[in-house]
Amino acid sequence: MERATNGQIATMPIEFKLDGRTVVGRPDEPIIETAARHGVEIPRLCYKPGLRPDGNCRACVVEIKGERVLAPSCCRFPAAGMEVSTDSARARASQKMVLELLLSDMPEKEYRLDSELDQWARKLNLGLPRFPSRTQPAADLSHPAMAVNLDACIQCTRCVRACREEQVNDVIGLAHRGDRTEIVFDLGDPMALRNLVTDLRPEWIVHCPAATDVAWCETHPEDAERINAEASGTLASAAAAAGSRLLYVSTDAVFDGSRGPYAESDGTAPCNVYGRTKRKGEDLVQRALPSSLIVRTNLYGWNVQPKQSLAEWVLDRLEAGEKLGGDQRDVADQRLLGAPQHAAVELAVLRHQKSRSTCVAETASARTAISPM
């Protein structure tokens, strides 16, 4: 008679009690799946068939007779003779508390109507949460085709596991600790960034991503430095280790705008957080990979993304008869090419592009005919 292998033993049926009735399960099937097969619904948020169970949301906890603490049913497997309760007073109270705490952090705006959190809250008859909300993270609307609304994120890490373990591209990660924990993408995950560059070993890396919203950088200086400076240095170090060359897209905001046009040899004097963090990014890139190519750009025209470019914003204010005062004027002076005659050219081009007609822009030093594309 042949001895059964571990794989065969794992698939052998076993009997255990689920909410007082005897059911048949398998040692390799989590309790949450066995319960579903027998018509018993257990709340779940981080669990998804096909992904490795994490057990981090704790919405699926159950009570097991003889055990001191509740167990996440997505990570716990049945044993012969085990007695499991999915709806005991203790298990249900914990499930409801998890859902209520998560609900308290949700934004007032609903981004989708099929929210699993809302569905489970209704099934467990939860009312309005009793707890104050967290400080909501800002939305990332920098991509023209994708909005990242982290205020609706419950950090179930499904996206992280899908990218790391199914797609194996390590694009998404989890950063920080406690109430600062958040989902991060590429540049916000240094280890993933290094692994990606090491695996691909590209000949050239063109580093474009950055926190470019000047006003946002002023109110989020630490985040701006992490994205614009520290992540750029990390990428340059990874490129150096992989033997790759790097083109770092910087900005003309490293200058203060007091004169212009600027030459590469001119000294820098950034006057806002965005400019300072991009200038620090230049230093870190040069230090890690001295052969890097740094390009200080100034792009103008209509923004293809939903938000306005700075020039569009200034043009709208001026056409509405408004004056730019104080900080607004400083930002406009510093960002619109520095020299007033160049700012006039840019605003004239934008204005006449509205009518799609050829325009003539006059400055103190030139008269230029410009045809819209």
Tokens of 101: 């705490």
First to last CA, the chain: 82
* C-beta atoms surrounding 160 within 10 Å: 21
Element at 368 (helix H, strand E): strand 367-370
Total number of residues shown for the chain: 373
* β-bridge pairing 204-207 and 14-18: unpaired
Encode 166-232 in three state secondary structure. Answer: HHCCCCEEEECCHHHCEEEEHHHCHHHHHHHHHHHCCCEEEECCCCCCHHHHHHCHHHHHHHHHHHH
Beta-carbon contacts of 189 under 8 Å, excluding residues fewer than 6 positions away, are 170, 172, 173, 175
Dihedral sign, CA of 344, 349, 354, 355? positive
Q: If you write DSSP's letter for every residue of 58-73 in order, what string do you get?
A: -TTEEEETT-SS-EET
Q: Smallest Cα–Cα separation from 278: which of 301, 309, 255, 300?
A: 255
| From 47, 248, 262, 274, the catalytic residue | 274
Note if 274 is an active site residue: yes
**Cis bond leading into 190, ω under 30°?**
no
Q: Smallest Cα–Cα separation from 302: which of 347, 333, 260, 340?
A: 347
Tokens of 315: 């043009």
Q: Annotated active-site positions, please? A: 274
